[in-house]
Chains A and B, each alone.
Chain A
Amino acid sequence: MIPLEFYLLLAAALFCIGIYGLVTSRNVIRVLMSIELLLNAVNINLMAFSNYLDPATATGQVFTVFVISIAAAEAAVGLAIVLAIYRNRDTVDMEEFNLLKW
């Protein structure tokens, strides 16, 4: 049987890849995809913990279902906003969105 650590390492690696993509991507769609990676890393974590520590009640697996459904809602809203901004500005490049300056 594969030890629990392997799953946690996989999730941590996926999480780091997601963060890397979040920081470096210029295309908004890629940023949204990186966020999905982050959420999937969490899902792996939850599933692994649920299987190894809490196989009787499996609350972690239930949590995963919630995470997946909310990730879908978030992606839908995200894409809707991207669509609105694309209609107004004809671009999805993060660097171009500089009307509001900090």
Chain B
Amino acid sequence: MDFTNLASQLNAGIILPEGIVVATLLVVLVGDLIAGRASTRWTPYATMAGLSLAIVALIYQWDTATPLSFLGSFMGDDLSIVFRGIIVLSAIATVPMSIRYIEQSGTSLAEFLVIMMTATLGGMFLSGANDLVTIFVALETLSISSYLLTGYMKRDPRSNEAALKYLLIGAASSAIFLYGMSLLYGLSGGKMKLLEISQSFVAADSDAPIGIIVALVFVIAGIAFKIAAVPFHQWTPDVYEGSPTPVVAFLSVGSKTAGFALAIRLLVAVFPVVSEQWHFVFTALAILSMVLGNVVALAQTSMKRLLAYSSIAQAGFLMIGLVVGTEAGYSSMIFYLLIYLFMNLGGFTCVILFSLRTGTDQISEYSGLYQKDPLLTLCLSICLLSLGGIPPLAGFFGKLYIFWAGWQAGAYGLVLVGLVTSVISIYYYIRVVKMMVVKEPQEMSDAISNYPEVRWDLPGLRPLQVSLILAVVATSLAGILSNPLFTLANNSVSHTPLLQAAIDQQQAPKAVVPPVATIAPAVTSVAQR
């Protein structure tokens, strides 16, 4: 009797998508143990099927009446559903890229898939985590499996080195983050749930919450590491250059998305008392990321490092949406993440295909690619131009929406920096495109002159081709046919009570209402729901 009562209180159905991922993970792991080497034929497809099933489960949970589960530890609201969906999609897209890549390197594919699904699981839990313990455990699940993925090519010294750097910097930053969380626990008088913490801060109502600011600094260090914001970005280019390319694709989308989910939930829920301070810090981080990411990318010679700096810059654009904190700001950020998923994964698929055929990632080796492989040239060009924000492609609409939201909210400086730096970014994206397209036959690089005959019937290349075409089609059409994505992003924000409370609170000072009086009921009403 007691047990059934408790089980119904847990509301465990909310984590059904995660449950499906766990089940898939176990099937792949055990299947690989039993079938051995022969299992490589079906494990990638089982993984994709399981993850797709998780997406279906997520769709069914849209607008669920009781999002709070596990006694308030996990929040399955629409915001978390969108973020979990993006993370699972990025994992699904990573699978077809990795089949051929991992087989060519002679390592086991099933283990790779299992570790990647564990990382996905960590990211999914992080998107909905609603108390400090859950946040920490989910964050570490994601991080530790990312370290393992980074070092997956264990005979390659570059992969080793990338993994070591990632592990040391990552572990240090999560320890700092954790110190911040311990301060939050103490300052709130022994609370773990995010909303209880912020309620106790509001109730204390002190003028100079220095302790809260110290905790905020530690927490921001941890978040900024995860989303690779300047000046916490130093690991990014090294890790991206050294680790296996499918892993980089997953880290640049999945892990970053999880970081943003954590940023929104933690900052908006816990720190309304010091919202001016964290908005200021994130404005600075956004400007630094956009400027440094785009400028340093100009000087890169390796394609993977170029994409690393480009992803730092993209994180800067995304942070504009977080900083302005209006309804349009949040939904533009989610919209841009959805588009970024397609264009960035499409770009990485092209880079993987090129390195599978030539064995190099140097930008100079791309020259003259058009003569040998027009399809790859076309796909890579579309993805890069979209990342740069050239009009008919999806990236343009994503940027447009973010800048429009920023302008509406009065963040003129941020938007101007964003505009100027995106012009800079077009230069280095176009440079690669120009190199591939216009070179004369005699100026071809060595890699291109020895380019193998284009064959898609090698084992593992067919799924890569399909995913490449899908990503490119999505990138070219998502801009023009953006309405469903747009509606999805908007609904996820307007159906999330947490964000609605924060948006109301942002508008409150304009109406000359004492802030505390409006926050407290808003937060309480959210807590009760």
Contact = CB atoms under 8 A, between A and B. Distances in A.
Nearest to A39: B175
Contacts of B171: 32, 35, 74, 78
Contacts of A45: 179, 182-183, 186
Given A45-B182, A88-B157, A100-B242, 18 more contacts: A22-B168, A35-B171, A38-B176, A42-B179, A49-B185, A53-B186, A54-B190, A66-B137, A70-B136, A74-B140, A74-B167, A74-B171, A78-B171, A81-B151, A85-B163, A99-B158, A100-B241, A102-B234
Given A63-B133, A81-B147, A73 B175 contact: no
Contact of B179 (A38, A60, A77): A38
Interface string A63-98: 100110010011001100110110011000000010
Contacts of B155: 88
A70 B137 CA distance: 8
A57 B175 contact: no
B144 A77 contact: yes
A59 B157 contact: no
The list of the 3 closest CB pairs from A to B, nearest first, reads A54-B190, A38-B175, A49-B186
A74 B176 contact: no
Interface string B229-246: 000001001100110000
B136 A102 contact: no
Interface in A7-65: 8, 11, 15, 18, 22, 28, 31-32, 35, 38-39, 41-42, 45-46, 48-50, 53-54, 57, 59-60, 62-63
Contact of B189 (A39, A53, A99, A100): A53
A31 B168 contact: yes
Interface residues of A, number: 43
A45 B237 CA distance: 34
B288 interface: no
Contact of A100 (B151, B165, B185): B165
B132 interface: yes
A35 B171 CA distance: 7
Contacts of B151: 81, 84
Contacts of B242: 99-100
Contacts of B140: 70, 73-74
Given A62-B133, A74-B144, A77-B167, A67 B178 contact: yes
Contacts, number: 125
Contacts of A22: 168, 172
Contact of B160 (A8, A49, A81): A81
B302 to A, nearest CB: 10
Nearest to B131: A59
A82 B165 CA distance: 11
B160 A88 contact: yes
Interface of B: 132-133, 136-137, 140, 144, 147-148, 151, 154-158, 160-165, 167-168, 171-172, 175-176, 178-179, 181-183, 185-186, 189-190, 192, 234, 237-238, 241-242
Contact of A102 (B160, B189, B237): B237
Given A70-B136, A77-B147, A100 B162 contact: yes
Contacts of B136: 63, 66-67, 70
19 contacts: A11-B182, A22-B172, A31-B168, A35-B175, A38-B176, A41-B179, A42-B182, A45-B186, A70-B137, A74-B140, A77-B144, A77-B148, A77-B167, A81-B147, A84-B160, A88-B156, A97-B165, A100-B161, A100-B237
Contacts of B178: 38-39, 42, 67
B157 A81 contact: no
A27 to B, nearest CB: 12
B21 to A, nearest CB: 19
Contacts of A60: 182, 185, 190
Nearest to A49: B186
